[in-house]
Structure 1
Amino acid sequence: MRRLSLLLLVVVTSLALARPAAAAELEGYAPYQPATRCAPAAKPGTVLFARWTVNRYGGRFGGISRACGGSRSEHQEGRAFDWSVDVRRPADRARVARLMRDLFAADAADAAGEADALARRMGIMYLIWNDRIWSAWDGFEPRPYRSSSCPSLRRCSRTLRHLDHVHVSLTRSAAAGHTSWFVGRL
């Protein structure tokens, strides 16, 4: 009996100390995957990412799905999340800064020294906030952003400029919960 207990203890301990599957293989930088169809039901990975963001950083849930029609959007495929935070509020700017630091900061590399590891594991395709876009295909380097619906920034709404929310688009694989960050979470 004692030998069986010891064996069970060794097995349980090794399972508890084993590296999770999420730590095994890091995804590369995601390519752009434009919306191509109308399937607006919120995908499980998008829902989990949205809940994780609001629970960890605060702010409000701004929604995932949008009605189909007009121009295509990842919202219409259930793989984009709008996080309601406002650039005019210092507390919201701090929330976004914490998220950005966790996702993209040089000191936020994983144990193997891989840059942008969390964003890559989550399958983030791009993020838009405060007239800037961070896209995977550009190594998440911030770039100026202006909506194609805006003739100029001065004539553009706060929403289209992403001053009142952060827009996050996920890859199809991430939206389905099939990237390494989702292992053991879904």
Structure 2
Amino acid sequence: MLFEEKVRDRMIPIKNYSTVPLDASLKEAALSLRTSYCRLDGGMCAETGPRTILVLDEKGRLAGILDFRSFLKTLIPEIAGGLTAKLEALGVSMAFAQADASEFDEARLGFNARVVKNAEVKVRDVMLRIRGTIQADSSLMEALKEIYRNKITVLPVYEGEKLVGVLRDTDLFLAVSDILNRTPSTC
């Protein structure tokens, strides 16, 4: 199956994948990704969609990618620091953290304001570079190798020079699990 099936058989067509222009704000990108990621099921986010958004230049060419981690790192930069840096970013001293937290609401409001401010950053300034691509007529096995060789979860798919879709590690997992579903158990 993985040797016969082509990437085009499992990819998500680009028209069905979230994209933003280079000059979009992080807020615009985050809200777009949230819309495609969350399929509402009984009012709750069913978390079924893509976990990345593609960044396109003014000619519609792929320029970069944003994933959940890059969003969080930019919106909440203190997550990369130690405890003291995290507390200071929240407007909380170490002494305050060890004492009564009656003023926590004030610190929380400061945090929310910083997230909103950080969301003004342009995606071009924080996007990740593309570390691998594949042609639509390649085998799924080739795609699997490319994803693991580059330690990525999303692989842009091309027909020649044209971006036509995206293949995710999730799509490859489903292809492999289809093999298991069709093969009689030996246990």
TM-score by length of 2: 0.25
Structure with more of its chain in strand, by fraction: 2
Structure with the greater alpha carbon radius of gyration: 2
Larger RCO of the pair (alpha carbons < 8 Å, separation 6+): 2
**Which structure shows the bigger proportion of residues in helix conformation?**
2
State the TM-score, normalized to the length of structure 1: 0.25
